[in-house]
Amino acid sequence: MQRMLGRAVIDLRARLKWSQADLARQIHRRTKQKNEQLPEVHQETVSRWERGAQMPSITYRLALAKIATAHDHHDLTAAFRASPDAWHLVSVVLTLGIADED
């Protein structure tokens, strides 16, 4: 689940041609106004997300969704807005090899 979400972060950065630090700055810019108690996002945090070592919180996932939407990457917007339960379901489906064979 975390790795698939990490792949979405990698895809977003690649499409935008941003470094991890660039993405971290943009996330921080979008979240600091709403919640002063949130820790600042750093390049290392983005790296952990991309490796699947950590999952972004809902606040950071929503910031990622806003960035994706602002740049017309709506397929990634849906991925970032998906709940952890939805990501878990996708993981189970992929693991079990369940697919529509029509």
Tens-place pLDDT, residues 6-39: 999 999 999 999 999 999 999 988 887 666 677 8
In this structure, is residue 101 part of a structural domain?
A: no
Kindly report the CATH number assigned to the domain that includes residue 90.
1.10.260
Separation of alpha carbons 48 and 50, rounded Å: 5
Separation of alpha carbons 66 and 27, rounded Å: 9
pTM for the predicted model, two decimal places: 0.81
In this structure, is residue 59 part of a structural domain?
A: yes
Count the domains in the chain: 1
In this structure, is residue 68 part of a structural domain?
A: yes
C-alpha angle 70-11-20 in degrees, rounded to nearest 5: 85
Gyration radius of the chain over CA positions: 14
In this structure, is residue 102 part of a structural domain?
A: no
Whether 76 has a pLDDT exceeding 50, the answer reads yes
Q: Give pairs for 31-37: CB < 8 Å, separation 24+.
A: 31/59, 31/60, 31/63, 34/59, 35/59
Q: Identify the domain containing residue 60 by its residue range.
A: 2-96
